[in-house]
Amino acid sequence: MPNNRGSRTFVEGTVSSVAFASGDRFVIGCWSQSPIGPFNDIMWIDGSGLRTLIACTQDAADLISNIYHFDHVMVTPLNVQSEGSITIVKSSGLEIRINGGRLRSFLPPRPLAVTRYVEAPLARWLMGVETYGSTPSGVTEWYQARGWRRVNSAGARWGSRDLGELVEDLRPIAVGFSNPPKLASIVPIKVTIEYPVEFPTV
């Protein structure tokens, strides 16, 4: 990983968030652009509250785990396809399929100040999400959604175990300052990341 101290960068792609009757919650990132190239990741919180990061490479694991807090990190082959209204995940015994609806509320690129001062209070009120803030590691982030798809149906298996029916109301994932929308969703998004000068190198 490069020395990111005092710098600003971004990741852009799709975030799919979903929860199941088993208590398992997933936030699935399919990133087409990032400082380390395209990558995929899964933030997985099980019914006991254990927070696991699944990353496709060590560079991806380092990038994410230096910003957010997890109890466990797995680096393993991870295939995520997220195009339009469908997200499909396959990784080491974990399989997820998410079917979303039409894209709503398309939003064009806009200045970061708009996200901080205008979008942030609106998103907090309407969606229960934070679009601007600082992570526990001191990294500042701006979340700029391009639109939003509500999930219509989803299924998941962990090995031979079916994780049950889709749950509409997602509880917080508690890895950083922000959480996904309370309703299961697929969101095209750009996240701008600003590292503090004192940020540690990897």
Yes or no: say if 1 and 63 are a contact pair by the CB < 8 Å rule.
yes
**Domain positions in the chain:** 9-193
Q: In whole angstroms, give the CA distance from residue 196 to residue 54.
A: 25
- Residue that has been written with the tokens 């509409």 in this structure: 168
The pLDDT value given to residue 1: 47
Structure tokens at 177: 């300052």
| Predicted local distance difference test score (pLDDT) of residue 7 | 86
Provide CATH code, domain 9-193: 2.40.370
pLDDT value of residue 5: 58
- Length of the chain, please? 202
- Whole-number Å distance between alpha carbons of 30 and 76: 15
What pLDDT shows up at residue 168? 80
Q: Block means of pLDDT (10 residues each) for the chain, length 202 residues?
A: 70 96 96 96 94 96 94 96 94 95 85 91 82 90 93 96 90 83 92 82 47
